[in-house]
Structure formats: structure tokens, C-alpha cells
């Protein structure tokens, strides 16, 4: 059994750590590329959202490397993601791929449905080992997220352009290389030293909150490395969703203390959006409100074309922008998006923010 899963930013680090710790044979699909997108878009339904097309491309590329089992998350709607796995599997079957499908999702009748699927993947491991493996993966996710947060802070302030990116890349390699939970404290120390070595100088920066749909937020291929681009334009960014927060909220039911939770965001969404709308629609709205209250200079919403929850959020955001006085830029991505167009819009947005604040950045 060779298990593969779709890409979503740095999620593969966490997932493959977890699975490899449990001795599962993992095939990480090649990094999402233009080829992935072309493959996926060719066979996926035209109006499906972008993540589905990229997932499909990932699976097709992973099959070339011998993967035979798909591990996917599911859901119970109303966002389309809940039905991704089944549609993707139907498409792959019609194309002649021979994939087994294991979907981890909230069980419909009995918790045993979910447990037996986990057992199927993890094999002979005891539940104690499985839990340890999951926690190991979570810790890696958290380290990667911390690295990203540091990079967001450093990039607009770095003395030598590109030094943050180089440090980030090296630190990431250290995290990936850790094989055992016992190594993690050492790795954490090493990583701190690497990131601490980036020289910075104090200069005025703009602060922008990035909200939106989780896949487009986390996958740099889809958002054209938005956070890095903004960093180079002199903007410090924060993101409404990090992978470790998502894991804590949805898998650990918020057990780990001291992490931001989606509940705050959902509360803050009232009175603009009073009901959950699936996906991360309500979190998007609530996070925009929170960023406005925290004095951020602007908010950028990222969404895949035709994403239903985010379209609801998109319709509500102008009201927040007016009432709370914070500029909001919505960026829709799909297989037709181009990088140059995005850069132009970002530059214009940053100019607007800088002028509003009366500062000169970079």
C-alpha cells in the first residue's frame, strides 16, 4: 500500500511526518506545478473550484510514482469540499486509474466508521502509537506555522533582500528532516538560531490581514506567493488560518490551549454574517472584523473562482469595509489567473494603504 494525499501548502510535512512515524509507505505528490494544474483542469468539471482541479492533478502525478491509495479528508457540507473525494475518485476511475479511496470524515452513524478507516491506513500500530503519530505531525505543523509567522514579520524589515527566504528555506529543511518526536526540542533550538540570524532594521511597515478560503491561503502556487510578494512591498502580513490552528479546531476540538480559535472569528462575524455558511465563510468575515479592530491597515480576501462560502463573505465584506473604515481587496484565483495582473493589483493596493497611513514604505 502506497498512500498519497493532495497538496495544500506545507501540509505534506505534517502529514508525511505522521504517516512515516507510523511506518506507512507514503508517496508525496510532486510539488504542485503548472503541469499539475493542466492535468487537473483538463479532466475536472469546468465549474468545479480550483482546489478540486489541483487535487486531481496531484493524484494523477502521484500515480506516476506508484501511489495506489488516496487519503483524503471529507465533510458534511454545504461546501463542495465534502464531496471532492467521491467526484475525484469517479473521474480517476473513468480515466483508468486504480486507486483505493480512504476518506476521513465525521461518521454518519457510528464513530467506528472513522476508526476502522484510520486502522486501515495505520495497520498494526496500537492506538497509543497512532495518537503519538498524530501529535508528532501536529507539532511539526506548529513549527512550520511559527516559521511562517516569523518570516512574515522579518521580510518587510530585512536588511538584505532575500535573507529571510534563505533562512526560512534552511529552517524548513531542518523541520522536514526530524524523524522522531524526541528530536524536536533540538530542531526547535536550531531553527530559532537560523531565523534569529536574519538582520533587520526598524522601518515603517504596513500591516495587512489575509483572509479567505483555506486552500488558497495555504498554497503558495495558487496565490502566487502572495505573502512573500507583500513582504517585499514592505507589508507585514497575518493570515486568518494556519494549518496547526485548523488541526486544533477540527481534530483536537480546541484542546490545545493558547492557539487562536475559529470561535472568536465566528462570534466577531455578527451582525454582518449571522449564520455559518460552510467552508470558511463566516471565519473570513469575522477575521476581517477582528483585523479592523486590531488596527490593521488593510484586508485581502483570497478565494477560488465560484467558491460558494467565500462569495457570500465577499458580498458582505464591502459593508464591513465601509463601517469599520478598512480597505478590503478581494482576489479571485482560477486556472486563468496571471501573475502580472496580481502584482499590479497588489502594488496599487499597497500604495493606497501607504497613502492613507501617510508613510513611505521601502
Assess 48 for contact with another protein (CB under 8 A): yes
Q: Which residues contact 145 (CB under 8 A, 6 or more apart)?
A: 242, 243, 244, 245
- Give the per-residue contact string, 80-119, with another protein (x = CB under 8 A; - = no): x-xx--xx-xxx--x--------x----x-----------
Assess 292 for contact with another protein (CB under 8 A): no
Assess 279 for contact with another protein (CB under 8 A): yes
CB of 317 to another protein, least distance (A): 8
Query: What pairs with residue 102 in β-bridges?
Result: 71
CB of 319 to another protein, least distance (A): 4
Among 30, 78, 181, 327, binds another protein (CB under 8 A): 78
Distance, CA of 111 to CA of 105 (rounded, Å): 10
Of 97 and 305, CB closest to another protein: 305
Is residue 217 within 8 A of residue 333, CB to CB? The reply is: no
CB of 6 to another protein, least distance (A): 16
Assess 76 for contact with another protein (CB under 8 A): yes
Of 30 and 78, CB closest to another protein: 78
Assess 337 for contact with another protein (CB under 8 A): no
Among 114, 118, 308, 342, binds another protein (CB under 8 A): 308
CB of 334 to another protein, least distance (A): 10
User: Which three cell numbers, joined as nine digits, stand for 348?
Assistant: 496599487
Assess 257 for contact with another protein (CB under 8 A): no
Alpha-helical segments (H) within 68-178: 81-94, 111-122, 127-154, 163-177
Tell me the C-alpha to C-alpha distance, in Å, between residue 181 and each of 129, 135, 178.
Answer: 12, 9, 8
Distance, CA of 327 to CA of 360 (rounded, Å): 18
Q: Which residues contact 317 (CB under 8 A, 6 or more apart)?
A: 284, 285, 288, 299, 301, 328, 330
Of 71 and 172, CB closest to another protein: 71
Assess 215 for contact with another protein (CB under 8 A): no
Q: What is the DSSP code string of 202-247?
A: ----EEEEEEE-HHHHH-TTTTTTHHHHHHHTTEEEEES--HHHHH
Assess 277 for contact with another protein (CB under 8 A): yes
**Beta-sheet pairing, 69-73 with 206-212:** unpaired
Assess 278 for contact with another protein (CB under 8 A): yes
Is residue 304 within 8 A of residue 49, CB to CB? The reply is: yes
Of 49 and 194, CB closest to another protein: 49
Interacting residues toward another protein by CB under 8 A:
45-49, 74, 76-80, 82-83, 86-87, 89-91, 94, 103, 108, 272-279, 281, 305-309, 311-316, 318-319, 332
Amino acid at each position: 500500500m502506497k498512500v498519497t494525499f493532495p497538496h495544500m501548502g506545507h501540509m505534506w510535512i505534517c502529514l508525511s511526518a505522521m504517516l512515516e512515524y507510523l511506518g506507512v509507505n507514503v508517496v508525496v505528490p510532486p510539488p504542485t506545478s503548472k503541469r499539475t494544474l493542466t492535468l487537473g483542469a483538463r479532466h475536472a468539471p469546468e465549474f468545479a473550484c480550483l482546489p478540486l482541479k489541483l487535487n486531481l492533478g496531484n493524484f494523477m502525478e502521484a500515480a506516476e510514482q506508484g501511489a495506489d491509495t488516496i487519503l483524503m479528508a471529507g465533510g458534511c457540507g454545504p461546501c463542495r469540499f465534502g464531496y471532492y473525494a467521491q467526484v475525484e475518485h469517479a473521474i480517476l476511475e473513468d480515466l483508468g486509474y486504480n486507486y483505493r479511496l480512504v476518506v476521513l470524515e465525521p461518521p454518519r452513524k457510528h464513530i467506528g466508521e472513522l476508526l476502522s478507516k484510520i486502522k486501515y491506513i495505520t495497520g498494526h500500530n496500537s492506538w497509543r502509537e497512532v495518537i503519538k503519530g498524530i501529535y508528532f505531525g501536529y507539532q511539526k505543523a506548529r513549527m512550520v506555522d511559527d516559521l511562517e509567522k516569523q518570516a512574515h514579520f522579518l521580510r518587510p524589515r530585512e536588511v538584505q533582500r532575500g535573507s529571510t527566504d534563505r533562512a526560512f528555506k534552511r529552517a524548513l529543511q531542518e523541520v522536514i528532516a526530524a524523524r522522531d518526536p524526541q528530536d524536536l526540542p533540538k530542531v526547535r533550538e536550531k531553527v530559532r538560531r537560523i531565523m534569529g540570524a536574519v538582520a533587520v532594521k526598524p522601518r515603517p511597515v504596513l500591516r495587512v490581514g489575509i483572509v479567505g478560503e483555506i486552500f488558497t491561503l495555504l498554497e503558495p502556487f495558487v496565490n502566487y506567493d502572495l505573502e512573500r510578494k507583500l513582504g517585499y512591498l514592505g507589508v507585514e502580513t497575518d493570515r486568518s488560518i494556519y494549518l496547526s490552528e485548523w488541526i486544533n479546531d477540527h481534530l483536537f476540538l480546541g484542546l490545545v490551549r493558547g492557539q487562536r480559535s475559529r470561535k472568536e472569528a465566528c462570534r466577531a462575524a455578527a451582525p454582518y454574517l449571522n449564520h455559518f455558511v460552510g467552508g470558511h465563510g463566516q471565519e473570513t468575515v469575522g477575521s476581517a472584523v477582528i483585523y479592523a479592530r486590531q488596527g490593521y491597515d488593510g484586508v485581502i480576501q483570497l478565494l477560488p473562482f465560484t467558491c460558494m462560502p467565500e462569495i457570500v463573505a465577499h458580498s458582505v465584506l464591502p459593508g464591513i469595509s465601509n463601517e469599520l473604515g478598512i480597505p478590503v481587496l478581494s482576489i479571485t484565483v482560477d486556472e486563468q489567473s496571471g501573475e502580472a495582473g496580481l502584482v499590479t493589483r497588489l502594488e496599487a493596493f499597497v500604495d493606497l494603504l501607504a497613502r492613507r497611513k501617510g508613510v513611505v514604505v521601502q
